Amino acid sequence: MNRYRNDFPLLQQTNDKNLTWAYLDNAATTQKPTVVLDTVADYYRKANANPHRGAYDLSVAATRALEEAREKVRVFISAGKAEEIIFTKSATESINLVAASWGKTHLAAGDEVVLAVSEHHSNLLPWQAAVRDAHAVLKYMYTDECGRIPDSEIESKISKKTKLVAVAHVSNVTGVINPVEQIIQKAHSVGATVLVDGTQSVPHMPVDVSALDADFYVFSAHKMLGPMGVGVLYGKAELLDDMPPFLYGGDMIEYVEEQNASFAPLPQKFEGGTQNVGGAAGLAAAIDYLNAAGMVNISGAEHDLTGYLLDQLKRIPYLRIIGPDENSGRIGVVSFIIEGAHPHDVATILNADRVAIRAGHHCAQPFMHYLGVQATCRASLYLYNTGSDIDRLAESLKGVRRWLGHGA
């Protein structure tokens, strides 16, 4: 029995066949430990008021909950200053904020924005829109057949014309850890700014944005045991200071006149509207939980389990892994297809055995197209998964082709 599993109420639930979930869709969202659920409920029970507003103690408590969460996030990713942590509703919103605000003021006709072809739509579509508005150009670093970005692509695509590079730290399709250190170095050498999408990295490995020297770094609370509806944007203060607000409204102003306004300093400038304080408190509890487990331990245990997952998958007839099939330079996100079985049918058949995996294009259609597959199945791990979850996955996968009328 895994030491964390008992902390997750959803993973204790059984159905009429006495089966718990073998939950293997952690790249989509993770389950929540009791301490996170209780922290969110406690906030609403004991400290709920609109932060930064009232002179009364409750509002002060709400403000404290929000600011303590911000400080916890800062330390977790080794950012320099608390005001460099902006709360959003998702990593998607964080990227949209940068693409709209930074893009509007920094991109000009002919400038180039460089992405990896493996990007999630949320790190692709905001840039499509930004370059269209600025008459700039979108360029792609293409991967090898395993989904890894070769040095030659980094060297040839990032040039003096490049104004910004946006790249995922870890691919949500293949689990590949991208060479972001190298990409950031190259981008900075030509004067370009770098946004790193850390949605799949921050939950699974130690991340130090200062050591990386990332200009922007984004991630989501709900993929790291926290609640849905909270995202983080880290940005270097000098960059954020230089950008116009994204959401205009309450809580982000200094003075407002009929025709003009001046705006609050960081981070409030980018936090228009009432924040999801309960969610931020939940994220802080999730960070405490992860710190207690230890990010190095989590990453090590997931590495071992990924090795077991790869071994088990390789034994399944007609199964092909999409992405690297070796257990290095990657995390526990594994895409695969089964010959003669569409991924949606695979996911439905596994569901009958209460095994949850993702099937589809993983919000990465250009990458799917580039890899020459329409859709894949994807199993993704987290700290509460066990060898038994993987055994159940493998057992269920063995029955897939029979259900679809292919014989054994």
Residue in 374, 387, 388, 391 binding other proteins, rule: CB under 8 A: 374
Q: Tell me whether residue 3 or residue 402 sits nearer to other proteins (CB atom).
A: 402
Decide if residue 343 touches other proteins (CB under 8 A). Answer: yes
- List the catalytic residue out of 69, 355, 363, 390: 363
Question: What single string gives the DSSP state of each residue in 8-46?
Answer: -HHHH---TT-PPPEE-BTTT-----HHHHHHHHHIIII
Decide if residue 344 touches other proteins (CB under 8 A). Answer: yes
Q: Report whether 337 contacts 377 (CB < 8 A).
A: yes
Q: Which 375-394 positions form the footprint of other proteins (CB under 8 A)?
A: 375
Decide if residue 348 touches other proteins (CB under 8 A). Answer: yes
Decide if residue 398 touches other proteins (CB under 8 A). Answer: no
Distance CA 22, CA 396 (A): 11
Q: Tell me whether residue 48 or residue 365 sits nearer to other proteins (CB atom).
A: 365
- Tell me which stretch binds other proteins (CB under 8 A): 7-15, 30-38, 165-173, 341-349: 341-349
Cα-based distances in Å from 331 to 28, 232, 249: 14, 21, 40
Q: Tell me whether residue 53 or residue 402 sits nearer to other proteins (CB atom).
A: 402
- Tell me which stretch binds other proteins (CB under 8 A): 248-256, 297-305, 355-363, 386-394: 355-363
- Tell me which stretch binds other proteins (CB under 8 A): 18-26, 215-223, 287-295, 336-344: 336-344
Shortest CA distance to 15 belongs to which of 312, 246, 355?
355
Decide if residue 403 touches other proteins (CB under 8 A). Answer: yes
Residue in 145, 352, 388, 391 binding other proteins, rule: CB under 8 A: 352
ω into 267 cis (within 30 of 0): yes
Q: Which 304-323 positions form the footprint of other proteins (CB under 8 A)?
A: none
CB of 240 to other proteins, least distance (A): 34
Shortest CA distance to 280 belongs to which of 136, 64, 56, 130?
64
CB of 376 to other proteins, least distance (A): 10
Based on DSSP, count helices (H) and strands (E) in the chain, helices before strands: 15, 15
Token pair in block for residue 271: 């936090």
Q: Tell me whether residue 46 or residue 369 sits nearer to other proteins (CB atom).
A: 369
CB of 149 to other proteins, least distance (A): 24
Distance CA 384, CA 267 (A): 34
- Tell me which stretch binds other proteins (CB under 8 A): 38-46, 230-238, 321-329, 343-351: 343-351
- Tell me which stretch binds other proteins (CB under 8 A): 46-54, 266-274, 305-313, 360-368: 360-368
Decide if residue 339 touches other proteins (CB under 8 A). Answer: no
Distance CA 81, CA 78 (A): 9
DSSP label at 115? E
Q: Tell me whether residue 81 or residue 344 sits nearer to other proteins (CB atom).
A: 344
CA 62-63-68 angle, to 5 degrees, is 100
Decide if residue 235 touches other proteins (CB under 8 A). Answer: no
Decide if residue 19 touches other proteins (CB under 8 A). Answer: no
Q: Tell me whether residue 316 or residue 404 sits nearer to other proteins (CB atom).
A: 404
Question: Is 146 labeled as catalytic in the residue annotation?
Answer: no
SS3 of 108, please?
coil
SS3 of 337, please?
strand
Cα-based distances in Å from 369 to 20, 341, 373: 35, 18, 6
Q: Tell me whether residue 236 or residue 358 sits nearer to other proteins (CB atom).
A: 358
Q: How many residues bind other proteins (CB under 8 A)?
A: 18
Shortest CA distance to 226 belongs to which of 145, 161, 184, 281?
281
340 backbone φψ class: left, alpha, beta (φ>0; ψ -120 to 50):
left
DSSP label at 216? E
Decide if residue 345 touches other proteins (CB under 8 A). Answer: yes
Residue in 360, 366, 370, 395 binding other proteins, rule: CB under 8 A: 360
Helical spans, DSSP H, in 135-171: 151-157
- Tell me which stretch binds other proteins (CB under 8 A): 254-262, 284-292, 310-318, 340-348: 340-348
The β-bridge relationship of strands 355-356 and 358-360 is unpaired
Q: Report whether 173 contacts 376 (CB < 8 A).
A: yes
Residue type at 143?
Answer: T
CB of 87 to other proteins, least distance (A): 28
* Binding residues vs other proteins (CB under 8 A): 341-345, 348-349, 352, 359-361, 365, 368, 374-375, 403-405
* Residues acting as catalytic residues: 363
